[in-house]
Structure 1
Amino acid sequence: MSEPSSSNDRPEEGTRQLQAYRFALEPTHDQAQALRSHCGATRFAYNWGRRKVLANWAQRAAEASYGIPDDELTPWIDQSAYSLRKAWNAEKGTVAPWWAENSKEAYSSGIARVAKAFSNYGASKRGTRTGARMGVPARKKHSHQSFTVTTGSYGLGDGSRQVKIPRIGIVRTGESTRKLARRLRNGTARLANMTLSWRGGRWWVSFTVAVRRNDPKPARPDAVVGVDTGVKALAVLSTGEIVANPKHYQKTQALRRRLARARSRRRGPDRKHGGEPSRRWEKANAKANRLEHRVTAMRRDGLHKLTTRLTHEYGTIVVEDLNIAGMLRNRCLSKAIWSAGFSTLRHQLEYKTDWCGGRLITADRWYPSSKTCSSCKAVKAKLALGERVFRCDHCGLVLDRDVNAARNLAALVSTASCVGTVNMPAGNRVRPGSPGDGIATGRPETAVAGQPCRSNPAGHGTTHSVNGAKFSGTRRDERPKAASRPHW
């Protein structure tokens, strides 16, 4: 984040945004042991809360099996974080006599996480939670080590490379914390919590901060750009620019396999009989994990640079609503799709457009951007994935397939109220009109409203209006079956 060059470059007051600042830690041996102990305490408190809730459920089920009336069953246990924390404080002397060795924040973190897990499970079971169906919270194991600090003496140290952790003290960071310290000193940021975790063979600290942001407006606030993501090219812009796919995952595939073979030749952990891994296996495993972490960091860095450049230059950005989960079922392309990071790209565009005061429009999932001619708006019935050049049978346009799709996305701005979701600068999303109002193919408006489309001289289909925006094309119930398939 760059600082303003003068006080006149930005407005005096900005909006509060939650933002994470993450720094690598360089703890001593004793401090690393203490961090692992706190992570174990968090895991223990989580599993204790899980057992307590499930035991209450099992007790009620057993009593009901004996024919006991519902009003006489054991009362439901309160699954809120407050009630579970109160029960933990009453029992910690018995179930965990060593609890004083760690900060209370470690146990509170585990209790809060198990309460959130049961809350999500209940919402998913009732059908009020979006996303995949959730099951009963599982028992936490040693694979994930982290804990969160919300109260107490924590934050940045006196130096530029120090953080303060309850019960552990001052820990050195691997990089400077001056950016965050400057905001805290100026009063433009406030710490919300601190999370410490073990990732990629090292310790990390992440501060969740409420930041008052005054980012500069886009350099071209009236400019519109369509972004078509893909596998061959990471992104193709409607301006004709092609952003190459770095393919970090594919380039390191040979090295990844070699490290995996080296690890398999060592004596690994025997989870069935409780056998410990050898030192050579631990070293080989750490080396393979460092490579995975490096590949993830390089991919994230490339996406950040791309999304920052787009949001700082264009006032309106149009992207597609891709069915990533469905695309990953393609065994031939799943690895390439996963390594590209389409979901991460869209997520970064969402919050960065909010920061810069831009606008992000998400095209309808069924909008045929690749099948539509960007010149005459004629829609092909079929377009094979192997056809990389778009050839229009009506106007004779010959154009790269991805560039044509990007231009169609950019043309949706005039009809965004009926073909896409608008992410406004404040983060409030305006949902499109109902399907019955003509969400249809989502073709951009014709040159003369109410006139037949150039690709439809016979006048089949009508010009529909949704929230004051007009577009030509048939309704969803009138659309041919072939045109309703996703273009990917």
Structure 2
Amino acid sequence: MLRVAGRERLSVVQAYRFALDLTPRQERAVLAHAGAARVAHNWALARVKAVMDQRAAERTYGIDEVDLTPTRGWSLPALRRAWNQAKVEVAPWWAECSKEAFNTGLDALARGLKNWSDSRTGKRAGRRVGFPRFKSRRRSTPSVRFTTGAIRVEPDRRHVVLPRLGRLKLHESARKLARRLEAGTARVVSATVRRDGGRWYVSFTCAVQRVQGVPACPDAMVGVDLGVSHLAVLSTGEVEPNPRHLDVAARRMRRLARRVSRRVGPDRRTGRRGSMRWERARVRLGRAHARVAHLRRDGLHKLTTRLAREYGTIVVEDLNVAGMLANRRLARSVADAGFAELRRQLAYKAGWNGGRLVVADRWYPSSKTCSSCGVVKTKLALSERIYTCTLCGLVLDRDVNAARNLAALAVTVAGSGSETRNGRGADRKTPLAGLVAVKRQPGTATAGNTGTVPPQGRTSNHEHTHAS
């Protein structure tokens, strides 16, 4: 971390993504490189899987471990050495593509095998990672990554140069990246060309020196209560509506999906390829899905950027999104809202702007706690959209009350990092006595304060999210 004119510079990894306007010849070249990556990936996976299957079969024969077929390394250097020895026989056309194309497939396999191995041995947290699968030409997303060679933005800022692909035209100006490259505050690490929704994009991964910003209100704290009926409700009373991009486009997407089903599609059993009309219908459906994703991403970026630039401390909930997706009535709306993406963006944008993100405990009762007196209700039905306190008489919108509790929680949480957890070990139990209340002065912290609500008096904060 460097200091420039009294302000700190942050060393971050940042990506710049631009749409491409490729000619038919350039598109065929990019597809050839993506196909080369797929071939290398499938060849190396078949090689590794054959050895593993052979060793498993030998164990069933009672062969000792020392006498089994020798294992083969699946690290990237080991896979690369094996590919270089076999590429003349496996891919006689290997010289037509850049070496980075084959390295893309081998690197993806090496990372996939490592994640699978770490997940099996307990070194990797989270959900179990499955064994890598072979990539299909029709179902896999064409992608190729370049890490060496000529990677630059042309002076006109409308073209980029990539190894073996040459000069590619951009659909938009790359001035944001070009300015940083010219100023020496960014260095291109890699460039990835990928097809998404029928369109090609190039993404530059850069090591950037950013001047750490200062929020407009460094001492201000805001609680963000996420929901479905409203995307976010702030403790200030501001309500961010949920645009529901997927619901808006659902009718058109259903019509396009029916059109695809009526066309003559591919058949793997007979080797039949899809008709041109099926291909055109499939592309239209893919563009409709991509448009929904782009609109959702754009809205989340605007909201998170505004919050990170305005407030010094932002408090959000540690939502169990995977559990919410198990509810078939809410899964579609929860997935369309993008809760996890919103929190991910807040995490790094708060650090860029000199702020702090506080993640409330998953079982912190933000909905059941009165934001005025600190009383905690034993039960709060999902249908109760107005919070009414039986002790102090507070009548407030349920989501606004939860957001105020989240904002007050930041007072009791220490930490100076860009993302801080309260880490108080809350559980999902609510006191059976009914109410736990401690009178406090106006303006003080709510249920997160020591002596206000004991740790055993907390329950899930998902009630208001499910019903929002």
Partner of 1:48, secondary structure, is helix
Matches of residues 1-400 of structure 1 in structure 2 within 5 Å?
11=6, 13-142=8-137, 143=139, 144-400=141-397
AA of the residue aligned to 1:432: G
C-alpha change, 1:189 and 1:440, in structure 2 (3 Å) is farther
In structure 2, list runs of 5 or more residues that go unmatched.
441-447
Tell me, yes or no, if structure 1 residue 470 matches structure 2 residue 450: yes
Task: Summarize deviations over 1:234-274 as a string: whole Å, max 9, x none.
Answer: 11000000111111111111111111122222112223322
Q: Report the counterpart of residue 401 of structure 1 in structure 2.
A: 398
Deviation of the 1:13 alpha carbon: 4.7
Normalising by the residue count of structure 2, what TM-score does the alignment of the two structures yield?
0.91
User: Which residue identity does 1:312 align to in structure 2?
Assistant: R
Partners of 1:431 and 1:120 lie apart in 2 by: 29
1:428-443 equivalent positions in 2, closer than 5 A: 429=420, 432-433=423-424
Secondary structure of the 1:194 match is: strand
Larger displacement relative to structure 2 (112-121 or 279-288)? 279-288
Structure 1: gaps spanning 5 or more residues? 1-7, 443-450, 456-465
| Contact 1:372–1:379 (CA under 8 A) maintained in structure 2 | yes
Contact 2:159 2:170 in 1 (8 A): yes
Structure 1's 28 and 416: CA in aligned 2 closer, same or farther, altered over 3 A? same
What is the CA-CA distance between 1:376 and the residue it aligns to?
Answer: 0.8
Check the 8 A contact 2:10/2:212 in 1, yes or no.
no
State the 1:35 CA deviation: 0.4
Kindly indicate whether the alpha-carbon contact (under 8 Å) linking 2:361 and 2:424 is maintained by their aligned counterparts in 1: no
Amino acid at match of 2:454: T
The 3-state SS of whatever aligns with 2:452 is strand
The whole-number CA distance in structure 2 between the counterparts of 1:357 and 1:262 is: 50
User: Amino acid of the residue matched to residue 424 of structure 1?
Assistant: G
Residue 475 to residue 241, structure 1, CA distance change in 2 (3 Å): closer
Q: State whether residues 18 and 201 of structure 2, in contact with CA within 8 Å, keep that contact through their aligned partners in structure 1.
A: yes
1:110 aligned counterpart, secondary structure: helix
* Separation (CA, whole Å) in 2 of partners of 1:406 and 1:73: 61
Matched pairs, number: 449
Alignment deviations for residues 86-143 of structure 1 (CA, whole Å, 9 cap, x no partner): 1110111111111111100000111111010000000000112122111211111122
Matches within 5 A, 1:411-430: 411-417=408-414, 424-425=417-418, 429=420
Query: CA 1:471–1:172 in structure 2 vs 1: closer, same or farther (change >3 Å)?
Result: farther
Shift of 1:74: 2.3
Q: Higher RCO, 1 or 2 (CA under 8 Å, sep at least 6)?
A: 2
Alpha carbons 1:440, 1:473 under 8 Å: kept = no
1:347 Cα offset (Å): 0.5
Change (3 A) 1:190 1:439: farther
> In angstroms, what is the RMSD of aligned CA positions?
2.3
State how far apart, in whole Å, the 2-side matches of 1:168 and 1:286 are. 24
Partner secondary structure for residue 326 of structure 1: helix
Contact 2:194 2:202 in 1 (8 A): yes
Q: Give 1:31 shift.
A: 0.6
Counterparts of 1:146 and 1:378, CA distance in 2: 54
Instruction: Please say which of residues 151-160 and 312-321 is displaced more in the overlay.
Output: 151-160
Change (3 A) 1:223 1:279: same
Query: Normalising by the residue count of structure 1, what TM-score does the alignment of the two structures yield?
Result: 0.87
Counterpart contact for 1:350–1:423, Cα < 8 Å: no
Q: Deviations over 1:75-94 (max 9, x none)?
A: 22111100110111011111
CA offset at residue 9 of structure 1?
Answer: 10
**Residues of 1 paired with 2:90 and 2:19: CA distance?**
34
Cα 1:484–1:187 shift into 2, 3 Å: closer
Task: Classify the secondary structure of the residue corresponding to 1:14.
Answer: strand
Identical aligned residues as a percent: 50
